[in-house]
Structure formats: structure tokens, C-alpha cells
Structure 1
């Protein structure tokens, strides 16, 4: 199974934000959309960074409530790991575990093309294991 199979099932919509937006706007966006991260992009969909709930909490802890007036570009994670739709589920799981992050933008030809979360990856992996178990049960029943 690959990242493409996840994106084909869930879609390629990604919530993005501009680097000049305030952290207040970003926190509101994350809350309204009930998501844990937004990808920071240029107008041409080039990935500049990712802003997660963790980033916002970190900046709030360092600067207090006034941090909400800071710009997204000042709080985002700018060294973003990405994957491609050809990456396997296991490769993505390893990358997320090693990097200790829960959201992984999908890049195609240097542009944002989707996003996968740890929840997407775990769900797909469970579906694969259940399908394999059912196939084994069917094989044993017919043997």
C-alpha cells in the first residue's frame, strides 16, 4: 500500500495558511477545521513550512498571550519532511515515528499535493491487517 491509496480514499484537500497570517488566525483555523496542523505555502503551492498545535503551544509558552499576534512564519516548523504518493505506508510510518510528528505533506513536482496524518496511516495499516487475516481464514476454510 502507498500514500496514493490513502489520498485516493480521503482526497487531496489540504488546509493551508499564508506565512503572514497571525497565530491567532492560525489557531482559529485549526480549531474551526478540527485539525492539528496547516501547511504554510506560497501562492504557487510551494511548501514553506508547517504550523502545528505544538508550534503554537511552544510559542505561547515562550512569549505569553502576546504571541498570538506573531506571524505564522515566525512560529512554523520550516524544515518540513515530505513524502511522495509512491512512498509505502511502512516508509511513512517510519518517517513519522523517527521525526516524532503527526502530519506529513505530500509533494509532487515541488508543490503541495496532499497530506497524510498518523491517523490516516494507522487506519490504512489496520485495514490491511484485517484484510490479510480474512484472506488467511478463507484459505484455511477452503483447505
Structure 2
């Protein structure tokens, strides 16, 4: 299965915010939408960073409550790993595991096109394993 197939099922909607918004706004969006990361984009929809719960904890530990007034750009991860719709689930899992993160933005034509989470990947792997098990059972039953 590819990233394209996952996005076809789950959609291309991604929660974003701009690099000049405050960390307090990022925290509010994360909590309100019950997500673990937000993609930071510029006006053209290009990915300029990602901010996760882990990033916010790191900034809060360093700056305390004053971090809430800091800009998202001061807490985001600027060197964002991305994937494209042709990448496979296995490739995406390898990138996430190596980087120790749970969200991978999808880029198409230089712009944000979606996001893949570790939950999306695990769900698809389980579906694949269940389908393969059913196919094996059907094969054995007809043999």
C-alpha cells in the first residue's frame, strides 16, 4: 500500500498554522482537535516546519510559561522529513522509526498535500495482515 492509497481513504485535510502564530495558539489547536502535531506552512502552502507536543514540552521546559508568547517558529522543528504519495507503508515506517516521530507530512508539487500518522500506518498494516490471513484460510479451505 502507498501513501496515495492512505490519503484516498483518510483525505488530504491537515491542520496547519503559520510560523508567526504564538505557541499558545498551537497548544489550543492541538488540544481542540485532539492531534499530536501541526504542520507549519507559509502563505503559499509550503511546509516550513512541524510542531508537535514533544516540541512544545521542550520549549516549555526551557522557558517556562513565557514560552506561550513565543512564536511557533521558535519551537517548531524546521528540518521536516516529508514523504510523497508514491512512498510505501514500509518506507514511511522506516523514516518514522529512524527519526523517532509519529507524523509525516505529504508533499506534492512543493506544497502540503496531507499527513500520515503512525496510527494510519499501523491501521493499514493490520488490515493487510488480516487480509492475507483470510486469503490463506480461503486457499487452504479450497485445496
TM-score by length of 1: 0.99
Please list the CA deviations of residues 30-87 of structure 1 after superposition, one character each: whole Å capped at 9, or x if unmatched.
0000000000001111000000000000000000011010000010000000000100
CA distance in 1, matches of 2:28, 2:117: 20
Alignment RMSD: 0.4
Residue of structure 2 in register with 1:141 after alignment = 141
Q: CA deviation at 1:131?
A: 0.2
Residue of structure 2 in register with 1:48 after alignment = 48
Residue of structure 2 in register with 1:73 after alignment = 73
| Residue correspondence of structure 1 range 3-22 to structure 2 within 5 A | 3-22=3-22
Residue of structure 2 in register with 1:113 after alignment = 113
In the alignment, structure 1 segments of 5+ residues that lack a partner are: none
Residue of structure 2 in register with 1:87 after alignment = 87
TM-score by length of 2: 0.99
Q: Secondary structure at the match of 2:97?
A: helix
CA distance in 2, matches of 1:90, 1:65: 40
CA distance in 1, matches of 2:18, 2:110: 17
CA distance in 1, matches of 2:28, 2:87: 32
Residue of structure 2 in register with 1:103 after alignment = 103
Q: What stretches of structure 1 move > 4 A for 4+ residues in a row? A: none
CA distance in 1, matches of 2:135, 2:12: 30
